[in-house]
Structures are given as structure tokens and as C-alpha cells.
A = this chain, B = another copy of it.
Amino acid sequence: MEQDKIPQATAKRLPLYYRFLNNLNNQGKKRVSSKELSEAVKVDSATIRRDFSYFGALGKKGYGYNVEYLLGFFRKTLDQDELTEVALIGTGNLGTAFLHYNFLKNNSTKIVMAFDADSDKVGSDIGSVPVHHIDELEAKMGDISVAILTVPSDEAQSITNRLADFGISGILNFTPARITVPSSIRVHHIDLAVELQSLVYFLKHYPLSK
């Protein structure tokens, strides 16, 4: 699919828009105003209108947006019809939470295998996903190009090195460790402690009016 580059901030909001529109469509709703969208996805309506303008003029004054049309548009944009298979490394509490999470409900990413070193887990299924031994990482990955990293911090870099040697394209790093990768690999890092600290910082320094 050819499309012009859109701003990264806009790109980040696309999955949110998609999810909400999908829910609306499931409820049989035919149209939605930018105000309704705004309240549902917690993005101000001016930003929504600007975001949507990058895809061409999709809204009509006094009518709002056609849900089915928008949904078809986003589905193509987010490549919803093309399944992306993902591997998860580390089936501790956080990894297990991911495996039980129903990713397929609203999108087309699917965790198809997990890896762990714990022999009690290897060979079992968690959330219908088979758990392989971490020693089999390279043997089992096949053409999977995205991995979720939920291993203990002190193992994050060595596993990352193996993923890099294997030829991974993207890593969703949920460990507190900042990992080093070749520039060809995209890493998104979500650190639970930093997220909490950041919220506390905003609360202290950017209080909202009562």
C-alpha cells in the first residue's frame, strides 16, 4: 500500500481510533462526530480533525464521520488484514499477562509462541500459546520478526543479542533494562517504574484544576 508519511504522533493514535471505531461498528453505529470520538479516545477534537486530515477530508460538517468508511480506511492503513506473528520471551507474571491478553480481538497481531528457561513451563501452553525452551529460540522462530521482551532485567541484553543475530526487526522491551541494538532494529521501551514515576511527576508539577 502506498501512502504518504504521516507524523509519528498521529501514527501512534491510529490503533486507538481503530479500536473505538471497531466497537462502534460492532454496535451497529453508522456515524460518529469528532466530539464523540474525542470523548471516547481522550484526544481533543481539534487533534482528531488534524489527524484525519492527513488521510484526506473524511468528515462532513453536521454529519460527522462515516464509521464503516473510516474503519475500512484504518483497516487498510493499519494492515489489519495482514496477520503479524509475534514471539514472547519470558513467561513470568508480565509475560503471562500478555499471553492471556486477547490481542486478536481487535487487531491482527498474534503471539504465536513463547520462550522460557523454566522446565515446568516448557512444553505447556499459556493462553493457548506453546512455550518452548529458550535454547530453541533460533530453531523455532521461523520468519517471526517481532518479539516482546519480558525476561528478567539482567538477561535482557544477552537475549537481545541473540534476537539481533537472528535478524529480528522489532522488539517491544518491557524490562527495566535499556537495551542496545544495531540501528536496523526498532525498539519500543515501556518501563513500568518510569511510567509510574512519570505520572507522579506530572501530578506534582502539572496539577489539573479541580
Contact = CB atoms under 8 A, between A and B. Distances in A.
Contacts of A145: 203
Nearest to A39: B180
Interface string A56-99: 00000000000000000000001100001010000011101110
B193 A106 contact: yes
Nearest to A184: B210
Nearest to A94: B97
Contacts of A54: none
Interface range on chain A: under 10, 10 to 19, 20 to 34, or 35 or more?
35 or more
A203 to B, nearest CB: 5
A195 B190 contact: yes
Contact of A183 (B15, B96, B106, B208): B208
Contacts of A170: 199-200, 202-203
Interface string A1-44: 00101001001101110011000000000000000000111100
A187 interface: yes
Interface string A162-194: 000000011010001010100111111111111
A198 interface: yes
A109 interface: yes
A203 B54 CA distance: 20
A199 B199 CA distance: 22
A107 interface: yes
A202 B11 contact: yes
Contact of A172 (B42, B84, B199): B199
A182 to B, nearest CB: 9
Interface of A: 3, 5, 8, 11-12, 14-16, 19-20, 39-42, 78-79, 84, 86, 92-94, 96-98, 100-101, 103, 106-107, 109, 145-146, 148, 169-170, 172, 176, 178, 180, 183-210
